[in-house]
Amino acid sequence: MFSTTDLLAVGGFFLSLAILVGGVLLYAWRRGSSHKTSWPQPWHLLCVCIFTAIFVFVLSQTLCGASPSETPVLASLFSTIQMFLLEKDMDVDPQALGTALTGWSQSYLAYNAFLYLLAPLTTAGAVLLLVSRFASLPLLWLRSRSREVFLFSGLTRDSLELANSTAAHDRSSVVAFADVDSCDDEELVADARESGYLCLSKDVTSLVTWCHVGSCVHVVMSSDDETANVHQTLAFVRHMCAETRHGKSMTLHVMARNGAVQGFIDTASQLLGEASVIMPVRRIDATADLVRQLLMSNPLFLLGSGDEDPSGPYQRARRRIAILGHDDLCYEFLKAALWCGRMEESDMEIEVADPRAHELSQRLAFECPEIYRLIGSEYHVSFRQMALESHEFVDFLLMCEPGVSYVLVSQESDLESVRIARRVREITERGCIDPTLPESPIPRILVHAEDPVLAQTLANAKSPKGQPYGLVATGSRDVLLSYENTFHPSLERWARNLNRAYWGFFDMPEGPEREELGRMADASYELSEYNRNSSMASAIFLKYDLYSFGCKLAHREIAVDGLPGCDASMLPTSEDWLLPLDAPALQPLIDAYAAYVHTQDVEWLQRLEHDRWSAYVRTLGFECASEQAYRSFYPMTGKDQDQLARLHVCLVPYDDLDQVDEMVQRVEGAPRSMSFKDVDKVVISHLAEIVRTA
């Protein structure tokens, strides 16, 4: 028969073992559970169970007076814990207990030794975890010395994707995530730590103070909740206005696709300006940035894909663009095509085909009323409400003249987009080889596919006979949240240089005055999102300006003096036009363009730029301001526009700009320093400097 002491020892052993096993099972269940909470985390629960198991086992040993073994180290640990638990040393013969346990003695002592080894390891792990939460702050300071630092306000799937691309772009950059404790996804935190990023419990405002003074800091408000991003942005800006001596070069980025956020971004910029704090505030709209990238990398003027004829890109034919979908990507692309398609002798016809095409039509009418009123006269846009599985859709692709040259497909899911795009490719391929149908090019087909693996596979997709489908995947998560698509450094450089050109920067000789003018121009560039986006749109259109010049050159309608080798043989091919604007293949044409604009009449290019600008501001909702309206808002704004009312005096045909100059003189009482026609000429005259100046 077991004595009370023996039963206490055996009971403590089994109870402790049950608690330990239960803790491990609970940890495994919580790790695999889809329901995530910020507290307690699975690791916290496991630590509690381990220490509880140790406490129960040691307490049972202490009450029965047993010692773990004759090992000096374990005996010393046991005596210490026994003293702290009961503040007394009970002298009971451990050999008698071992005899009573008979066959259980070895398991009992082995479990005892295991717990005594587990206890310090668990304690050390918990202490290191606690210390690491604070030790990372000095580490942030050390690593940020003379480096580029990216601080994310929260850890999400999107912010981690962007962080991965940022780190791959610049291996020396420092990436840190703030407020990691609020992240419910423990696997996400583990992925961030494994990637070598700093994961800190402090908020992003506190982390900025730990960055080295010599660092270049990018603060990214990266919550999935756009309202929370706005709140954090305004709080961060107020803090920076109070801490004007931080001495760091900082840029604030706010992840927000909702255009309503723009007003709050401008408010933040205004607060910083009033406090004389130099900190640009940018809105990250992944969809709008993707459309910008598409306009550059897949220009609208290309007549389909697979064109090997050198004169193919310069054929004078109406470009017919089909948009198959009704989501935000389709809408942003529609607006961009309306202003980016204003090219010399390359009229653009845009057709939206979708069962819910009327939604885009109504949205355009609400947000861009002047464009909607001019549809059919200046803007060739039609909305076809049709099922994409119908015979009507097949006729839409085959029978219309001219044939479709550019297609964007964006449906409810990736696979649905691929299915429709593949069908479009099959139908148009049949149209190209069927002599009974109107002659048409093989269209350039862009497919919205968010899955990165699917997007990569799609580029190499072929029919069973080995014919490539020629589908261009776009909008995958790794591209949408990439460094290039989010921060687009080349486009930013061109846009900043373009804004400098408006200020006369490139017309001044080298010296302090020129440098000061450059700083003033850059400050105006960062003043509001409107200024920055408008400059970026102009920078994108530089390639389209250059293409229009190439068309004139290809058809021998213009000549470039002093460049005898400048003829159709040096014109870029279709593949060349897919390259960035500063690619070597485009440099001979840029040289010819620069020589031409300084020796010839360029009014046709000025007219082209004005048409592009007019279409662009109309996509922002602007309408033409009458003289009466101008007299009303000029005393308040001091400018020729009212951004709140979305009115601008220059939304008139190019030939009427002289009359606008006269109206401005009547209202302001003095002539403008530069006519509105000359403003358009500034960009045209400095295309080469805009592209090539670092």
Helix (H, G, I), strand (E, B) or coil at 568: helix
DSSP-assigned beta bridge partners for residue 382: 351
For the segment 229-283, what is each residue's pLDDT rounded down to a tens digit?
888 888 888 888 877 665 678 888 998 887 777 777 777 777 777 777 778 888 8
Can you tell me which residue has the tokens 């709050």? 264
DSSP-assigned beta bridge partners for residue 648: 624, 641
pLDDT(86) > 60? no
Residue 582 to residue 571: CA distance in whole angstroms: 15
Instruction: Report the candidate in 251, 198, 192, 179 with the shortest Cα–Cα distance to residue 220.
Output: 251
In the prediction, which pLDDT does 85 show? 45
Residues in the chain: 694
650 near 499, Cβ under 8 Å? no
pLDDT(72) > 60? no
Q: Average pLDDT of the chain? A: 82
Dihedral, CA atoms, 392, 398, 401, 404, nearest 10 degrees? Answer: 100
Q: Which two tokens stand for residue 304?
A: 């389909």
Residue 196 to residue 163: CA distance in whole angstroms: 11
What domains are there in the chain, each with its CATH number?
4-128 (no CATH), 144-284 (3.40.50.720), 290-483 (3.40.50.720), 516-692 (no CATH)
Can you tell me which residue has the tokens 């620069």? 594
Least-confidence region, from 48-62, 121-135, 460-474, 485-499: 121-135
Residue 272 to residue 244: CA distance in whole angstroms: 10
Rounded to the nearest 5 degrees, what angle is found at the Cα of 448, between the Cα atoms of 445 and 452?
115
Number of other CB atoms surrounding residue 519 within 10 Å = 10
Q: Which residue has the higher pLDDT, 103 or 522?
A: 522
Instruction: Report the candidate in 301, 312, 320, 302 with the shortest Cα–Cα distance to residue 554.
Output: 312
57 near 12, Cβ under 8 Å? yes
202 near 218, Cβ under 8 Å? no
402 near 317, Cβ under 8 Å? yes
Residue 684 to residue 666: CA distance in whole angstroms: 29
Q: Which residue has the higher pLDDT, 15 or 90?
A: 15
Residue 619 to residue 367: CA distance in whole angstroms: 8
DSSP-assigned beta bridge partners for residue 515: none
In the prediction, which pLDDT does 99 show? 55
pLDDT(358) > 60? yes
Least-confidence region, from 184-188, 211-215, 272-276: 272-276
Can you tell me which residue has the tokens 């096993």? 21
444 near 472, Cβ under 8 Å? yes
Number of other CB atoms surrounding residue 164 within 10 Å = 19
Instruction: Report the candidate in 527, 551, 535, 446 with the shortest Cα–Cα distance to residue 499.
Output: 535
Can you tell me which residue has the tokens 């040289």? 591
Residues 6+ apart with CB under 8 A from 394: 427
362 — pLDDT class (breaks 50, 70, 90): very high
For the segment 364-399, what is each residue's pLDDT rounded down to a tens digit?
999 999 999 999 888 999 999 999 999 999 988 887
Q: What is the mean pLDDT of residues 45-74?
A: 65
Q: How far is CA 484 from the centre of its chain?
A: 8
DSSP 507: G
279 near 243, Cβ under 8 Å? no
90 — pLDDT class (breaks 50, 70, 90): very low
Residue 300 to residue 193: CA distance in whole angstroms: 43
Least-confidence region, from 60-64, 329-333, 552-556, 656-660: 60-64
For the segment 606-620, what is each residue's pLDDT rounded down to a tens digit?
999 999 999 999 999
Q: Which two tokens stand for residue 259?
A: 């255009």
CA distances from 228 to 154, 222, 254, 354, 481 (A): 11, 9, 10, 34, 20
Helix (H, G, I), strand (E, B) or coil at 267: helix
585 near 572, Cβ under 8 Å? yes
Pairing of strands 319-324, 406-409: parallel
Residue 188 to residue 174: CA distance in whole angstroms: 18
pLDDT(543) > 80? yes
Helix (H, G, I), strand (E, B) or coil at 643: coil
Least-confidence region, from 38-42, 423-427, 523-527, 591-595: 38-42
AA identity, residue 32: G
For the segment 453-497, what is each residue's pLDDT rounded down to a tens digit?
888 888 777 777 777 778 899 988 888 899 999 999 999 999 999
Cis preceding-peptide flag for 402 (omega within 30 of 0): yes
Helix (H, G, I), strand (E, B) or coil at 448: strand
Alpha helix stretches (DSSP H) within 65-203: 72-86, 94-101, 105-143, 157-169, 186-194
Can you tell me which residue has the tokens 């501001």? 617
Q: What is the pTM of this model?
A: 0.79
pLDDT(31) > 80? no
Kindly report the backbone phi and psi dihedral angles of residue 219, in degrees, each rounded to the nearest multiple of 5, phi listed first: -100, 120
272 near 523, Cβ under 8 Å? no
AA identity, residue 359: E
pLDDT(95) > 70? no
304 — pLDDT class (breaks 50, 70, 90): confident
CA dihedral for 410, 416, 418, 420, sign (positive or negative): negative
CA distances from 257 to 332, 355, 364, 534 (A): 11, 25, 17, 18
Cis preceding-peptide flag for 280 (omega within 30 of 0): no
Least-confidence region, from 58-67, 204-213, 450-459: 58-67
Least-confidence region, from 9-23, 215-229, 447-461: 9-23
Pairing of strands 641-642, 647-648: antiparallel
Residue 618 to residue 370: CA distance in whole angstroms: 6
In the prediction, which pLDDT does 71 show? 43
DSSP 602: -
Q: What is the mean pLDDT of residues 101-113?
A: 58
In the prediction, which pLDDT does 563 show? 57
CA distances from 292 to 486, 527, 542 (A): 11, 21, 13
- Percent of the chain whose pLDDT exceeds 70: 81
In the prediction, which pLDDT does 290 show? 93
92 — pLDDT class (breaks 50, 70, 90): very low
DSSP-assigned beta bridge partners for residue 468: 462
The Cβ-side half-sphere exposure at 425, using a 13 Å CA radius, reads: 23
Instruction: Report the candidate in 104, 106, 139, 105 with the shortest Cα–Cα distance to residue 212.
Output: 139
- DSSP assignment of 288-343 equals HHHHHHHHHHS-TTS-SSS---TTGGG----EEEEEE--SHHHHHHHHHHHHHT-B
In the prediction, which pLDDT does 278 show? 78
In the prediction, which pLDDT does 446 show? 94
Instruction: Report the candidate in 131, 265, 138, 104 with the shortest Cα–Cα distance to residue 211.
Output: 138
Rounded to the nearest 5 degrees, what angle is found at the Cα of 465, between the Cα atoms of 408 and 430?
50
